[in-house]
């Protein structure tokens, strides 16, 4: 879905750069600045430094004078703000809202497909009025660092997103808020995969663990730690620990090497 980030009256160049970086880490690239404090903010040194390589986001960013000019092609507007005291859009948490937004989006699409099909079978001379439109796109609106969003801008939005924060300290940095919203929205859209650069290890089976433990039992007796006449629960306890450790085949190999060295050393000590 088309996704746009709109920064309104942003003061700090660093926040614009950090916003570009935060967006790009989550795979978004459509940034619009409404009347930023610095008209040349996209080219300022601090902006470029904090963008840390997300220069394409800055290059493609637009600067506009009014919020109106920032809203072409997006239909669902999310304020990130406290709602005004008198009235305003519903206050919602990002995770829950994104989930329900994408569900209703899905439903609207299937309904539209059905309606389009039905329309073909109806002979009608009436002018078609607007059908319920699918979300053409979503915009996330962020107010200025100092004053947040103006009430008149919040009134235009479909929801007010509230990031759940410490009730005693809710002061999120602007770029941190962008990072969290971008992350939650990307997760809702399906997320990026997580890769390990480590080759998968093969877990030892229970028989291999039992073989290793038998080897250790011999070795621990040889070095005088295990009293075979009064073994107590030593071996079952080690068994429990190694069960939790879920050793790999390679680790079983290491542990057997340790047992072997204990046995050899004990044999030498006898001479």
Contact call for residue 38 and a copy of itself (CB under 8 A): no
Q: In what order do the strands lie in the sheet with 159-161?
A: 62-64, 30-34, 2-8, 137-142, 76-80, 159-161, 91-92
Which range in 64-72, 134-142, 176-184, 215-223 contacts a copy of itself by CB under 8 A?
A: 176-184
Q: Contact between 12 and a copy of itself (CB under 8 A)?
A: no
Exactly one of 113, 121, 126, 207 binds a copy of itself (CB under 8 A); which one? 126
Rounded to whole angstroms, the Cα distance separating 259 from 128 reads: 83
Residue whose token pair is 């309104």: 8
Contact present, 221 and 213 (Cβ < 8 Å): no
Closer residue to a copy of itself, CB minimum distance, 64 or 183: 183
Task: Single out the residue of 39, 73, 191, 257 in contact with a copy of itself (rule: CB under 8 A).
Answer: 191
Stretch near a copy of itself under the rule CB under 8 A, chosen from 182-190, 206-214, 218-226, 259-267: 182-190
* DSSP-derived secondary structure for 236-262: HHHHHHHHHH--BHHHHHHHHHHHHHH
Closest to a copy of itself by CB, 64 or 172: 172
Strand partners, 6: 32, 141
Q: From the list 244, 268, 270, 271, which residue makes contact with a copy of itself (rule: CB under 8 A)? A: 244
* Stretch of residues binding a copy of itself (CB under 8 A), selected from 203-211, 213-221, 236-244, 252-260: 236-244
191-219 in b/e burial notation, b at 16+ Cβ within 10 A?
eeeeeeeeeeeeebeeebbeebbebbbbb
Answer whether 77's CB lies under 8 Å from 136's CB: no
Please state, in angstroms and rounded to a whole number, the distance separating the CA atoms of residues 136 and 82. 25
Q: Per-residue contact track with a copy of itself, 66 to 105, x per CB under 8 A?
A: ----------------xxxxxxx-xxxx-x----------
Q: How far is CA 271 from the centre of its chain?
A: 63
Taking the complex as a whole, the smallest distance from the CB of residue 193 to a copy of itself amounts, in Å, to 7
CA distance 135 to 203: 47
Q: Minimum distance from CB of 202 to a copy of itself (Å)?
A: 12
Phi, psi of 27 (to 5 degrees): 80, 20
- Assess 122 for contact with a copy of itself (CB under 8 A): no
Binding segment for a copy of itself (CB under 8 A), chosen from 1-9, 40-48, 62-70, 230-238, is 230-238
Binding footprint of a copy of itself on the chain (CB under 8 A): 18, 21-22, 24-27, 50, 52-54, 82-88, 90-93, 95, 126, 129, 132, 160, 162-167, 169-173, 175-176, 179-180, 183, 186-187, 191-199, 201, 232-233, 237, 240, 244
């Amino acid at each position: 879905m088309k996704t746009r980030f709109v920064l309104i009256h942003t003061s700090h160049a660093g926040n614009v750069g950090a916003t570009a970086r935060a967006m790009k880490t989550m795979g978004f690239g459509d940034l619009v600045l409404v009347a930023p404090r610095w008209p040349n903010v996209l080219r300022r040194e601090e902006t470029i430094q904090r963008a840390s390589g997300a220069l394409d986001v800055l290059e493609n960013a637009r600067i506009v004078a009014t919020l109106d000019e920032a809203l072409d092609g997006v239909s669902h507007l999310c304020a990130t703000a406290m709602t005004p005291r008198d009235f305003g859009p519903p206050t919602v948490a990002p995770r829950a809202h994104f989930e329900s937004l994408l569900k209703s989006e899905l439903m609207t699409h299937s309904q539209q497909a059905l309606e389009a099909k039905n329309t073909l079978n109806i002979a009608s001379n009436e002018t078609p009025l607007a059908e319920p439109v699918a979300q053409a796109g979503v915009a996330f609106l962020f107010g200025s660092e100092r004053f947040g969003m103006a009430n008149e801008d919040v009134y235009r939005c479909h929801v007010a997103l509230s990031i759940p924060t410490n009730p005693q300290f809710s002061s999120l940095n602007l770029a941190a808020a962008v990072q969290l919203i971008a992350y939650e929205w990307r997760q809702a859209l399906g997320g990026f995969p997580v890769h390990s650069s480590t080759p998968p290890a093969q877990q030892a089976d229970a028989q291999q663990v039992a073989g290793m433990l038998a080897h250790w039992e011999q070795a621990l007796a040889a070095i005088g730690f295990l009293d075979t006449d009064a073994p107590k629960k030593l071996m079952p306890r080690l068994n429990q620990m190694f069960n939790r450790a879920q050793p790999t085949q390679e680790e079983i190999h290491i542990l057997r090497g340790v047992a072997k060295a204990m046995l050899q050393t004990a044999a030498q000590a006898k001479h």
